[in-house]
Amino acid sequence: MNLKGRNFVTLLDFTPTEIHYLLTLSEKLKHEKASGKPHRHLEGKNVVLLFQKDSTRTRCAFEVGALDLGMGVTYLGPSGSQMGTKESIKDTARVLGRLYDGIEFRGYLHTDVEQLAAHAGVPVWNGLTDMYHPTQILADFLTVKEHFGKLEGIRFTYVGDARNNMGNSLMIGAAKMGLNFTAVAPKDLWPEAALVEHCKTIAKDTGATITLTEDVNKGTEGAQVVYTDVWVSMGEPKDVWHSRIKQLSDYQVDEAMMQRAADDAIFMHCLPAFHGIDTEMGMQIANEFGEEHPRVKNGEMEVTDAVIESTQSVVFEEAENRMHTIKAVMLATLGDDYE
Ligand code: CP
Ligand code: NVA
């Protein structure tokens, strides 16, 4: 398997064999880290992390991953560079490509990460755009594999805003890796029809199934994985909160929903999650909308506190796996000798 020099902007560009390979490499790196075995395979290289949006997990996973692999790291935050304000993406790509061995990008337009990838001349990794979040899917699938020993045939249900970056990317990942994927969401929040059709075509070869439904009971019954994400994503205007709560409060993941899932079901969330009033936003939403929509009155939105704190929840394993999987992506695309 040779992924050296490849970009990682969407899972659509990768075969199931390549994705399996990245997951296996992640397991190996996770094991090496746990056993204290040094793995500075990329010593002397440098990477730059470009963030137009905030991040905890993705930034830290790239930083710690790069440092563990022996690399130097530069972080450029939402206000820390000329990109976009005084310098085009294309020029930024050509400058950074001369200084660095790899570039991570988190931003708004998916076309921006594509442009970077087209002009940098070094691997570009997508750390989230409005459309896709592919490194998150690797972490999620590693977590599923660790829990169930496999990906093929797993009944994976995504509940909530199914047309955001997570809904899109999970559907693609499931189609590629042979999962039985169900998106449970109001029709207005289903992924674009063209992407659904494309995933169904991929699914024909992998044994995956892709189902979209508005029916919460049917869609979650017997699910082995119940997955959700925030109802309003980064970059969306604040004034969509009201309508989104109206659309999605029946889709909140609560204990009753988890009861309908399989006995051994796990709960997953890419995080950050709204499950209480211990965040500014959680408190604000509870105060503003709690009376009209009792489900959010305690700052619990896409998931209740009881579910995220339950033994079925694997959200923190999932968060840790961001680092092992991102490390695998960097190593596979930059390295040439890591057997
Ligand atoms: N899941 C995820 O991408 O988290 P951050 O926004 O903290 O990077
Ligand atoms: N859909 C979320 C994912 C965060 C990791 C967002 O884009 O804000």
Residue ranges, the chain, pLDDT below 50? none
Nearest residue (CA) to ligand 1, atom 6 = 55
Active site residues: 106, 133, 136, 229, 270, 322
Q: Extract the runs of DSSP E, i.e. beta strands, from 155-274.
A: 155-159, 180-184, 209-213, 225-228, 266-269
pLDDT at residue 337, rounded to an integer? 59
**pTM for the predicted model, two decimal places:** 0.98
What are the structural domains of the chain? Answer: 11-133+321-334 (3.40.50.1370), 155-223+225-260+266-311 (3.40.50.1370)
Of 109, 234, 301, the one to substitute when testing ligand 2's pocket (max ligand atoms within 8 A of C-beta) is 234
DSSP state of 128: -
Distance 266 CA to ligand 1 centre (A): 20
Pocket of ligand 1 contains residue 268 by CB under 6 Å: no
Distance 112 CA to ligand 2 centre (A): 17
pLDDT at residue 336, rounded to an integer? 81
Pocket of ligand 1 contains residue 57 by CB under 6 Å: yes
Pocket of ligand 1 contains residue 135 by CB under 6 Å: no
- How far CA 53 is from CA of 49, 129, 130, 222, in Å, comes to 11, 9, 10, 36
pLDDT at residue 338, rounded to an integer? 56
Q: Give the residue from 248, 268, 243 showing the smallest Cα distance to 318.
A: 268
pLDDT at residue 64, rounded to an integer? 98
- Closest-approaching ligand to the CA atom of 234: 2
Distance 131 CA to ligand 1 centre (A): 15
Residue for token digits 């290289």?
Answer: 45
Q: In this predicted model, what pLDDT tens digit does every residue of 146-201 receive, in sequence order?
A: 999 999 999 999 999 999 999 999 999 999 999 999 999 999 999 999 999 999 99
Rg (CA), the chain: 20
Distance 89 CA to ligand 1 centre (A): 23
Which is the closest atom of ligand 2 to the Cα of 55? 5
* 239 CA to centre of own chain: 24
pLDDT at residue 80, rounded to an integer? 85
Beta bridge partners of 268: 227
Of 53, 106, 113, 128, the one to substitute when testing ligand 2's pocket (max ligand atoms within 8 A of C-beta) is 128
Identify the helix (H) or strand (E) that includes residue 117: helix 110-120
H/E/C letters for each residue in 2-26?
CCCCCCECCHHHCCHHHHHHHHHHH
